[in-house]
Amino acid sequence: MVSKVFLVILIVNLVTDCSYGQRDKKFFRKDYKYIDSVQGFYKIHTLHKTWFEAKRVCALEGASLFYPENDDEAQAVISYWNDTQPFSWVYVGISDLLVKGVFETINGNPVSDVYNYWAAGEPNDAGGVEDCVILKRDGTYNDFSCDRKTPFICKKSLLSLEWNQACNIPNLDYIYNEEVGRCYKFHLTPMSWTDAYSVCSAEQSYLTVINTQSEADYLVKLTELKTRNQAPGDYLSGAVHIGFHNRLNDGWQAVRGTTLDDTGYVCWGQNQPDGEGREQCGSMFYNGLLNDVSCDTRCFFICEHEVDTLETLYDDRFGDR
Ligand SMILES: *[C@@H]1O[C@H](CO)[C@@H](O)[C@H](O)[C@H]1NC(C)=O
C-alpha cells in the first residue's frame, strides 16, 4: 500500500517535472554556460567551421546558431566571450542567403527586428560573395563569405528547454528501453560511419555498443520498425552503423574503450568480417549479426545514451518492483 501511494506521487512528480522542473534547475548541457541576466545557455565553439556547418552543429546539439536579440544579450554574451576566448569574431545566425541584400535571422526575421549594429561601411558584399554575418568583439556586424571557417556560438533559450525525463537529456527523440536500461535514437538520414559518429557525439551519446543478446534483439526490432516504410535505395546496405571499428589497425575495438571481444556480444554474420582491411568500420545487419563495412558507406545508424544520474534514482525508486 505504502509503495503504491509512493508510486502515484512519483508519477505525478515525473509528469509535472517534465519541462518546468528542468527549467528551474537551469541546466541544459554540461558544455553550455547559463547566463541568468538573459535566461539563455551558450556555448562558444572554438573549432572553426563554415557558416553552414556551424548552423548544423548547433542544431545537432539541440540549440541554434546564436544571434543577439537585443543590446542586453549582445553585451552579456560578448562579455562572457571577452572573459573566456581570444578570437576576434564569431559567426552569428544571420545571412542574406535567401535573397541577396535582405539580411534575416535563421528563423526568418528581419535583422532590423533584433540587435542590428553594423561596422562602418558594412554590409558591403565585397567581391559579391559575402552572404553570412559575423559579430565582432566591439559589438558590430560585418558581412562575410559563408565558406570561411570561423568560431561560432550556439544558444538555447531557457524558455525553449524541453527535457526527456526517462533518458535525462534535452532530446525528446531518444527512447528509453526498460529491459536494457538505456536510450536509443534510430537515425534515418544515411551517413558515413564517421559522420554518424560525430552526430551521436553532438547529441551527447555514442554509436550503439551491443552488450547482450536481448539488446541485439531490441535493436533488430527497432530497425525493423524504423525501416519498414523506407523505399529501398542503394544506400540501404541492409545494415546500420553501430559502435565498433578497426580504424587504427589494432584489432576490432568498440567505441567507449573496450575491445569488441569484451563487449559481450560478438556474433558476426556469415563469413564476416570479409573486408580484409578495406572495411574498417562496424555495422549490424538488419538481423542483428555484425558486419564490417567501408567507413564511407552511407547507412542508417543508431545512437545510444547511457542514463547516468537517473539510473540510480530509478533503481532506488522502483527497488521493490
Ligand atoms: C569586449 O572586448 C572588446 C575588445 O577588447 C571591447 O571593445 C568591448 O567593449 C568588450 N565588450 C564587453 C561587453 O565586455
Burial (CB count within 10 angstroms: exposed 0-12, middle 13-18, buried 19+), residue 108: exposed
Alpha-carbon distance values, 79 to 82, 84, 230 (Å): 5, 9, 48
**Does 76 share its domain with 186?**
no
Mean pLDDT of the residues in the chain: 90
Q: Is residue 271 situated within a structural domain?
A: yes
- CA 204 – CA 268 distance, rounded (Å): 28
Q: Is residue 162 situated within a structural domain?
A: no
Q: Is residue 316 situated within a structural domain?
A: no
Which pLDDT belongs to residue 312? 40
**Does 53 share its domain with 149?**
yes
**Does 75 share its domain with 187?**
no
Q: Are 202 and 60 in contact (CB under 8 A)?
A: yes
Q: Whose CA is nearest to atom 12 of ligand 1?
A: 79
Q: How many domains does the chain have?
A: 2
Q: Is residue 243 situated within a structural domain?
A: yes
Residue 24 φ then ψ, to 5°: -60, -35
How confident is the model over 197-207, as a mean pLDDT?
A: 97
Q: Is residue 165 situated within a structural domain?
A: no
* CA 59 / ligand 1 centre spacing (Å): 28
How confident is the model over 46-66, as a mean pLDDT?
A: 98
Best of 73, 137, 140 to mutate for ligand 1, by most ligand atoms within 8 A of CB?
137
What is the pLDDT confidence band of residue 165, given thresholds at 50, 70 and 90?
very high
**Does 85 share its domain with 133?**
yes
Q: Which domain holds residue 76?
A: 21-157
Q: Is residue 1 situated within a structural domain?
A: no
Domain boundary among 157, 189, 213: 157
Compute the radius of gyration of the chain from its Cα atoms: 23
Q: Are 206 and 309 in contact (CB under 8 A)?
A: no
In 3D space, the residue among 125, 123, 93 whose CA is nearest the CA of residue 108 turns out to be 93
What is the pLDDT confidence band of residue 228, given thresholds at 50, 70 and 90?
confident
pTM listed for this prediction: 0.86
What is the pLDDT confidence band of residue 1, given thresholds at 50, 70 and 90?
very low
Q: pLDDT tens digit string along 109-140? A: 999 999 999 999 999 999 999 999 999 999 99
Is 311's pLDDT higher than 50? Answer: no
* CA 78 / ligand 1 centre spacing (Å): 7
Atom of ligand 1 nearest to the CA of 76: 13
* CA 138 / ligand 1 centre spacing (Å): 5
Q: Is residue 193 situated within a structural domain?
A: yes
What is the pLDDT confidence band of residue 21, given thresholds at 50, 70 and 90?
confident
**Does 56 share its domain with 108?**
yes
**Does 25 share its domain with 138?**
yes
**Does 63 share its domain with 115?**
yes
- Show the ligand 1 pocket: residues with CB < 6 angstroms: 75, 78-79, 82, 137-138
**Does 299 share its domain with 249?**
yes
Q: Is residue 318 situated within a structural domain?
A: no
Alpha-carbon distance values, 163 to 116, 118, 144, 285, 313 (Å): 32, 37, 36, 32, 16
CATH number for position 299: 3.10.100.10
**Does 152 share its domain with 187?**
no
In 3D space, the residue among 313, 77, 305 whose CA is nearest the CA of residue 173 turns out to be 305
**Does 210 share its domain with 110?**
no
DSSP 8-state assignment for residue 119:
P
Q: Whose CA is nearest to atom 8 of ligand 1?
A: 138
Least confident of 17-31, 144-158, 160-174, 212-226: 17-31
Q: pLDDT tens digit string along 260-285? A: 999 999 999 999 999 888 999 999 99
Atom of ligand 1 nearest to the CA of 75: 13
What's the one-letter identity of residue 87?
F
Best of 82, 84, 87 to mutate for ligand 1, by most ligand atoms within 8 A of CB?
82
**Does 150 share its domain with 245?**
no
Q: Are 286 and 180 in contact (CB under 8 A)?
A: no
